[in-house]
Structure 1
Amino acid sequence: MNARTWIEIVEDNVGQYGDLVAGIDPSLGDVPRFFERDDAGGWVDRFVNFVLDAVEGRVGFVKFQSAYFEACGLPGLAALASGMKRAKAAGMGVILDAKRGDIGATAAAYARAYLTPASEGGSGDFEADCLTVNPLMGPDTLEPFVECANRFGKGLFVLCRTSNPGAGWLQDKMAGNRLISDRVADLIGSFATADLRSLSPIGAVVGATVPNEGRRLRQLLPNSIILAPGLGAQGGDIASIHSLRGVRPGDLLVPVSRGLTRVDDRDIPAELYRHMIIERIGSFQAAIAYDHAYGHSKSA
């Protein structure tokens, strides 16, 4: 087991750096041209290390979107593995946004791949502190992930009410006398620790684009950490973010990916790009900062 559990990482790093999660989504069309060279695929590793250079010591968490790395083939997977190891060694909490979910032995294999330390039978190549998972196929598909999370001090974010425009097609439908998103929240809550004074390692993904739904789901998940995507590019605003907060520091994490690293001018030079990322980090941190002692935004 790592020296710190996921909950310890959250409590320590939120206290030092705040709630911002730096997303690393390598998409060649969205990043400066200076990353490109003749070595096919090598740009991914250069991009990951450039972003980590900029965020290290400034944010407490990074989120790697696995799809972008997988799309780059073997060089992308190598960059993902080395980037995760570097971020963990620097003390940042590492979230792997893979949204895995399947039945039986397949779910157990995913849990071994992403949540199990090498010393306990995992490969160690893609070991995260926290993993996003999809509950669509039912509660039994989550059990191997929950078992690994509890055994090895890891965390999970279960998709509950997501930020995409089409989410309501299923998540806002009634099943029996409950909304599907409420039923998922009940399921997440059932995995929570019995200690009501502490955060649960089994959290929820609730989009910052749906504040009304978010307020309702927060009431169902008082001890859960909510990962709230959607700020900025997807239309979520600061008021929506704060509507998802509970009463404990660390119970809300706010990922920003394209809002930190995407450029319109791909000819921007390296030093200016680094300065831009650092400036954006400061702006987002100031915007979402919250004073739990007084129950309001620090920018208010």
Structure 2
Amino acid sequence: MPSGTSSRTWVEIVEANAARYGDLVAGIDPSLPDLPRFFEQDDGSGWIGRFTDFLLETIEGHVGFVKFQAAYFEAGGLTGLNALSSGMKRAKAAGIGVILDAKRGDIGATASAYARAYLTPPEHGGSGDFEADCLTVNPLMGPDTLAPFADCVTRFGKGLFVLCRTSNPGAGWLQDKMAGNRQISDRVADMIAGLAAPDGEGLAPVGAVIGATVPNEGRRLRHLLPRSIILAPGLGAQGGDIASIHALRGPRPGDLLVPVSRGLTQVEDRGISLQAYRGLILERIDRFKTAIGRDPSQVQPATRAESRTVA
């Protein structure tokens, strides 16, 4: 256990929650036009908090991880930031692993300030308002941008997901380019592998974001990151399928986490009732967990044909 912390480390959270609940990560991306109208009961000022509380209450006991997309909460101003803070605290209190998807990346004192904001416990100088178990970071400006975050990994048992080969259509413009005799994503993977060595034969606390939309690149990068946790966005709305997900899986339980946001919460019929909406989300959770194939209650992984039906 890192000095100065009495809570579980990120790796311990992943190992325990993946074994109990599977690899699904519930994404919270509050976008009012995609949600039922009952969240608009007042002037809209508090809908982000109501939605966040509703979703956390719904997923508790069914999903072991949640990913808060910081941009949606920031777009809600102070109300959104308050909802983010209270939601993160509520999820952590429930034992859910909290990933903050903020994609921060800067140098020097600025990077240190980001690390203090998101990964430093209050007793060590952090505010505690937005303290996550794990943070997404952008390595574009070089390894020195990651040093303050990696220090929090070592000191406080936190986790990182470093953007490596992302799921967006334009990612290959830079990430697939050659730098010397290596692709840029390969060089990033090498950097990730060297940031924080895992204990014994366990999982490494510094992992990679590799899209489920790029299975060929994913297989190559998994080979370079045999002990890293991969966060694999892109399933469902972005076109990734279950076969692509399995291309990213390694030999260790918990070494692949699969976030789904719109695929869990978006509705076409905005007139759906609260009770029906809760049931719909739980049904989708069951379908995704079964298809992903690491639901502890399931014996067999989803087939390729099943993967096409999950969205």
* Number of the residue aligned with 2:122: 118
In structure 2, the residue matched to 1:172 is: 176
SS in 2 for 1:99: strand
**In structure 1, C-alpha distance between the alignment counterparts of 2:12 and 2:75, rounded to whole Å:** 33
Q: Structure 1 residue 291: deviation in Å?
A: 8.7
Q: 2:50 aligns with which of 40, 46, 50?
A: 46
Report the equivalent of 2:302.
Answer: 299
Q: What amino acid maps onto 1:163 in structure 2? A: S
CA shift at 1:195, angstroms? 4.0
2:212 is aligned with what amino acid?
A
1:2/1:153 contact within 8 Å kept = no
State the 1:194 CA deviation: 5.3
Letter in 2 for 1:263: V
> Which amino acid is 2:71 matched to?
A
Residue 179 of structure 1: how far off its partner (Å): 0.3
Percent identical: 74
Query: Helix, strand or coil: the match of 1:242?
Result: helix
TM-score (norm 1): 0.97
Alignment match, 1:64 = 68
Alpha-carbon distance between aligned partners in 2 of 1:240 and 1:246, rounded to the nearest angstrom: 13
Q: Does 1:211 align with 2:243?
A: no
Which letter maps to 2:128? G
- Mapped partners of 1:219, 1:6: distance in 2: 22
Partner of 1:282: 286
CA deviations over 1:24-68 (Å, ceiling 9, x no partner): 000011101100133442000000011011100000000000000
CA contact (8 A) 1:288 1:297 kept: no
Task: Show CA shifts across 1:181-203 (max 9, x none).
Answer: 00000000111315450110000
Q: How many residues in Structure 1 have an aligned counterpart in Structure 2?
A: 297
1:62-120 deviation line (CA, Å, top 9, x unaligned): 00000000001010000000000000000000000000000000000000000001111
Equivalent of 2:160, from 156, 160, 163?
Answer: 156
CA distance in 1, matches of 2:31, 2:273: 18
Name the residue aligned to 1:262: 266
Unaligned runs of 5+ residues in structure 1 are none
Kept in 2, the 8 Å contact 1:101–1:135? The answer is yes
Answer whether contact 1:192 1:224 (CA < 8 A) is retained: no
1:220 aligns with 2:198: no
Q: Distance in 1 between matches of 2:43 and 2:37?
A: 14
Do the aligned residues in 1 keep the contact of 2:26 with 2:67 (CA within 8 Å)? yes
Q: Secondary structure at the match of 2:236?
A: coil
Q: Relative to structure 1, is the Cα distance of residues 238 and 199 closer, same or farther in structure 2, using a 3 angstrom cutoff? A: same
CA distance in 2, matches of 1:135, 1:72: 27
* Residue of structure 2 aligned with 1:17, choices 9, 13, 21: 21
Q: How does 1:228-267 map to 2 (within 5 A)?
A: 228-267=232-271
The answer as to whether partners of 1:95 and 1:128 remain within 8 angstroms in 2 is yes
Match of 1:77 among 64, 76, 81: 81
Quick check: 1:102 aligned with 2:111?
Answer: no
Give secondary structure in 2 for the equivalent of 1:21.
strand
Question: Residues 100 and 110 of structure 1 are in contact (CA less than 8 Å); yes or no, is this contact kept in structure 2?
Answer: yes
Q: TM-score under structure 2 normalisation? A: 0.93
Contact residue 192 and residue 223 of structure 1 kept, 8 A: no
User: Runs of 4+ in structure 1 displaced over 3 angstroms?
Assistant: none
Contact 2:164 2:188 (C-alpha < 8 Å) held by counterparts: yes
Take 2:302 and 2:150, find their aligned partners in 1: how far apart are those partners?
37
Is the CA contact (8 Å cut-off) linking 2:162 and 2:208 kept in structure 1?
A: yes
